[in-house]
Amino acid sequence: MPIMKESKTYFPKKGYGKDDVLHKLDELKQEMVPVDGGRFGMYSLKGSEEIQSVVEQAALKFFSFNALFTFMNKPAGQIEDELIEMIREIFHGSDDMRANFTTGGSESIYCAMKAMRDWARDTMPHIKEPEIVIPYSAHIAFSRGGKYFGINIVRTPVAADNRVDIEATKAAITENTIGIVGSAPCWPFGVYDRIEELSELAIEKGVWLHVDACVGGYLAPFVQKAGYDLPNWDFTVPGVRSISADMHKYGYAPKPMSTVMYRGGDEQFHHYTVEDDWPCGPYFTQSLGGSRTFASTAAAWAVLNYMGEDGYVANAKRIMAIKQKMIDGLADCRDLNTAKTDLSLLIIDSVTLDISKVVGGMAQRGWSLLGNTQPPAIHLAIDPICDEQVERMIEDFYHVVEEVKAGESDEQGSLAYSGGKGSGYTPKWVSQVLAMLPKKLSKSSHTE
């Protein structure tokens, strides 16, 4: 939808006034599916209004600064250095732990895969067709990265508890394997893989172990400090060489802001691609891109300093309390099941109902939910919303279930990321991809 359209063209010959442009954006924003207050399946992950106020003000102070040039600005470099030191403490890294900033979990995973591949080229030069073994539950970014970097992705079935199957992983390792992967937790099922056992296997086989903690990396340390038991998963586990974790999720930094961490300089060395075959000399950057926003970095520094450990622990307690409130609230609904998860993700499925109809019914009540397709389930990421909103969501679930059972609600909602129902409007680029999807998938060389 164009801002204002007077003819068949979208790009105006003469620009509109500032007030007109901003007013139109305000109108469009008001029409958007609300993502605050939990209405988007609790996916906003923005924290409290106070947190957002600090984050937004900090980001605006550096809105126009290109983080490509932090080496030319001592204060900007200081912000990055101090942020990395805080991250090192959170993830129990040694003094030699290194970190890089990226635009999101996918890019963090890509950077780790690139480092893993280049490390293998130095340490395993005989391997010409590198492979990485990952569980079926690992993020799709690994499969995409495999295509980008020429790495064969070998997915193994998960165990009955939806965690990595160690025996299946062992069986999948070949002479071409350069690395293995575990999630902490995985996105589809919300459970931790057996990182310590993967660590032992990685050390035994001499391969790289990457831990994907994108969703829970900046929550789990504080959940543990709040007294909850979680498996060991970070740099306290000796075989872990790299970790991906999103600050723009439970770290509450603004998007885009993620981190990829390396156990030490030996691992991070392979993160970089340094080239000098042009007139301006050596060129290297934090991640895969060149120019990047410093607003997210500054805001991440601000929110960590603003909340401190005590603030994150209090937030973690609230999140886990809300999760339990959801579980308890749905306990009497015989048609919905809440799966056991380890952290803040809540998975809801049903053996009696078409769960997509529940998604459709919830959409009619203003809830835009995402989920899994294999097996079908609703997927919630818990954030510290107020009790009234939690209670309203629980009540709506009960009403929708009864409507579906009575045949009064046949609206089917999509559980897939590419087909969810929000405002009912599908951008052209999404339609174009969906039209090509059968052809693209038929050419895929990756298997489950």
Query: For the chain, which domains are there?
Result: 57-304 (3.40.640.10), 312-419 (3.90.1150.10)
Instruction: List, for the chain, all residue ranges whose pLDDT scores fall below the cut of 70.
Output: 1-8, 33-44, 414-425, 440-448
Q: CA 212 to CA 110: how far, in whole Å? A: 11
For 132, phi then psi, to 5°, come to: -125, 130
State which H helix or E strand residue 346 sits in: strand 345-349
DSSP assigned state of 98? E
User: What is the reported pLDDT for 37?
Assistant: 46
Q: How far apart are CA 99 and CA 297, in angstroms?
A: 13
pLDDT, tens digit (0-9, with 9 covering 90-100), for 316-345: 999 999 999 999 999 999 999 999 999 999
CB 259 within 8 A of CB 99: yes
What are the start-end ranges of the H helices in 220-294? 220-225, 265-268
User: How many whole angstroms separate alpha carbon 209 and alpha carbon 368?
Assistant: 35
Average per-residue pLDDT for the chain: 90
Please indicate, yes or no, whether the overall pTM of this predicted structure exceeds 0.75.
yes
Residue 365's CB is within 10 A of a number of other CB atoms, namely 15
What are the DSSP calls for 378-416, one per residue? EEEE-----HHHHHHHHHHHHHHHHHHHTT---PPPP-S
DSSP β-bridge partners for residue 261: 99, 243
Nearest to 84 by CA among 206, 236, 245, 277: 245
CA distances from 346 to 189, 192, 266, 411 (A): 8, 13, 37, 23
Q: What is the pLDDT of residue 367?
A: 87
Q: Are strands 98-102 and 131-135 parallel, antiparallel or unpaired?
A: unpaired
- C-alpha angle with apex 297: 294 to 300, nearest 5 degrees? 150
**Alpha-helix runs per DSSP H in 4-71:** 18-31, 49-61
The one-letter amino acid code at 178 reads I
Residues of the chain by 3-state class (helix, strand, coil), percent to 5: 45, 15, 45
